[in-house]
Each structure stands twice: as structure tokens, then as C-alpha cells.
């Protein structure tokens, strides 16, 4: 069985600051959109600098869900909908010890799966979806997780965000899985003005430099989880504070 992958501590992007001299004001590569007199989107050069710093601080960011293979990753992400990664990680080790393949999950049955994940919100619906998607994988894909986002989205309990996570982590595609953290950070940083997850995803796919695209959504998730928090962003320890266009920055305590 493959070793479970996780990042036990918050990513170092949470508190790292770039070393050396302060970064000078970057010359725009193209004119930014403006609203009145306030610029509302980062320039191409500034976007590059944002992700350069994220990469410098944490070159190989990891998702925080526990999993042992593409199938258990898929199940973990399905279980994480409207729940925290930490909460899911409390339930899944016992589940995955018993069932690390769709065949084993079906052998467990819905009642046993439901009992094992009952600490997770919406556990009844999620247990039903886990069994249903496992059945589909056995019946139509030989028990393997398909490496196609459109196909993944047809599985029970799998939406676009879940499919993007699986495509990124399991298959190495530079997808942008937009959760609440990515949505918030992308708008605050002025990487996007999207009002829906799909719009933010499209903007990120367009503006993130290709060399940083594979890990971009991990950096944004971790930054939102540990620094750019919803209620009180910790702007004083943000490594891109000087670039971010968010007007209501929180002062140091």
C-alpha cells in the first residue's frame, strides 16, 4: 500500500518573506484594468512575482487530505465537500485500511461505510455516493479511476472541483480547483474579479504563468487557509502584501 501523502504542518508560504532587498515596484507588461483611479487587477509582471514567491517559499506544496492511491484520493475529496480536511482525515484512515479499492468498498457495503464516516457532515449522502461511484468504477472502468475530467464529473458525488483535484494530484494536470479559499484569495489578490468558481477558474487558467500552473491552486488554498483568512486576514505576515491590491489590509496586532 502506498504511503499516505500529506503536509503535516501549514505550508511555509504562510509566514515566509522574501529575503534580501524589498521588491521594487514592477513595471506593468500591459495596461491594467482600472475602476475610477484605483487599479483593480494585477499586471502580468506582478502575477509572475506572486507565484515566484510562493514557489520560492514552498516549491512542492501538497494537499492535506490523506490518501493512498488515486481511488482513495477520489473518495477523500468526495467526503471533504462542505467539511474540513482535518475532519475528513480523522475518519478516512480506518476506512482506507479496510477499503483502498472500489471492489473492497463495495464489499464493505453502504451501512459500514456510513458508520465509518459518520463524524463527517452529510455522511449519509456521502456514503451512498461512495458506494455508487465505486460501483460505476467497477462496472465501467475496470476498477480504475479515469484520468478524464469530463468522465469524472459523471460519477456520483463528483463535481468540477473534485474532478480538478483528482486530475491535478493523481494525474499531474495543471487544473485549478476553486474552493472557498482559492475563490477568496484570487479576488483579494486581484488575480480575478470572477463572481463564480467557474469564472475564477477560467481567469486563473489564463493568467497563472505556465511554469507555476501545476501547484498554483495548492499555494492559493494554503495561503487562504493559514494567512488570507476569511474574517481576519493576517496581512502583516503575507509574503505578497506589497503586491496585493486588497484595500482593507489588517494591521499587525
Residue 27 pLDDT: 34
Residue 13 has pLDDT above 50, yes or no: no
How many contiguous H segments (helices) and E segments (strands) does the chain have?
11, 2
pTM over 0.75: yes
Q: Rounded CA gap, 113 and 72, in Å?
A: 13
**Helix residue ranges, H only, 7-159:** 44-57, 70-79, 85-98, 102-108, 110-116, 123-141, 149-152
Residue 8 has pLDDT above 70, yes or no: no
Residue 40 pLDDT: 85
Residue 3 pLDDT: 38
Query: Which DSSP letter does residue 210 get?
Result: G
If one counts every other C-beta atom within 10 angstroms of the C-beta of residue 58, the result is 21
Cell numbers linked to 90: 480523522
pLDDT band at 11 (very low <50, low <70, confident <90, very high): very low
Residue 25 pLDDT: 35
Q: How far apart are the first and last CA of the chain?
A: 46
CB 139 within 8 A of CB 164: no
Residue 39 pLDDT: 61
- Burial class from Cβ neighbours inside 10 Å (0-12, 13-18, 19+) for residue 78 reads buried
Encode pLDDT of 169-187 as tens digits.
999 999 999 999 999 999 9
CA neighbours closer than 13 Å in the CB half-sphere of residue 235: 18
Q: What percent of the chain clears pLDDT 90, i.e. is strictly above it?
A: 83
Whether 179 is catalytic: yes
Q: Tell which phi-psi region holds residue 32, choosing left (phi > 0), alpha (psi between -120 and 50) or beta.
A: beta
State the chain's mean pLDDT as an integer: 87
Residue 15 pLDDT: 40
Whether 161 is catalytic: yes
Encode pLDDT of 109-124 as tens digits.
999 999 999 999 999 9
CA neighbours closer than 13 Å in the CB half-sphere of residue 43: 12
Encode pLDDT of 69-98 as tens digits.
999 999 999 999 989 999 999 999 999 999
Residue 145 has pLDDT above 80, yes or no: yes
Q: Rounded CA gap, 99 and 5, in Å?
A: 17
Catalytic residue among 148, 179, 203, 248: 179
Residue 160 pLDDT: 96
Catalytic residue among 8, 115, 128, 161: 161
Amino acid at each position: 500500500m502506498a504511503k499516505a501523502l500529506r503536509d503535516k504542518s501549514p505550508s511555509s508560504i504562510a509566514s515566509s518573506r522574501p529575503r534580501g532587498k524589498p521588491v521594487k515596484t514592477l513595471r506593468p507588461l500591459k495596461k491594467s484594468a482600472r475602476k475610477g483611479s484605483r487599479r483593480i487587477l494585477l499586471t502580468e509582471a506582478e502575477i509572475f512575482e506572486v507565484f515566484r514567491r510562493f514557489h520560492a517559499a514552498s516549491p512542492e506544496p501538497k494537499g492535506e487530505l490523506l490518501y493512498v492511491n488515486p481511488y482513495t484520493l477520489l473518495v477523500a475529496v468526495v467526503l471533504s465537500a462542505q467539511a474540513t480536511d482535518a475532519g475528513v482525515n480523522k475518519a478516512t484512515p480506518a476506512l482506507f485500511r479496510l477499503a483502498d479499492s472500489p471492489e473492497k468498498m463495495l464489499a464493505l457495503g453502504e451501512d459500514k461505510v456510513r458508520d465509518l464516516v459518520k463524524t463527517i457532515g452529510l455522511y449519509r449522502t456521502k456514503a451512498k455516493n461512495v458506494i455508487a461511484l465505486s460501483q460505476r468504477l467497477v462496472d465501467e472502468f475496470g476498477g480504475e479511476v479515469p484520468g478524464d475530467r469530463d468522465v469524472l464529473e459523471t460519477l456520483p458525488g463528483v463535481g468540477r472541483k473534485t474532478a480538478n483535484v483528482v486530475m491535478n494530484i493523481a494525474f499531474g494536470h495543471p487544473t485549478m480547483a476553486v474552493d472557498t479559499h482559492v475563490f477568496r484569495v484570487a479576488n483579494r489578490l486581484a488575480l480575478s474579479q470572477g463572481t463564480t468558481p467557474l469564472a475564477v477558474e477560467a481567469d486563473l487558467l489564463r493568467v497563472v504563468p505556465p511554469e507555476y500552473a501545476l501547484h498554483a491552486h495548492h499555494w492559493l488554498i494554503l495561503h487562504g487557509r493559514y494567512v488570507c483568512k476569511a474574517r481576519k486576514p493576517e496581512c502583516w505576515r503575507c509574503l505578497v502584501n506589497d503586491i496585493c491590491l486588497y484595500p482593507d489590509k489588517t494591521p499587525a496586532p
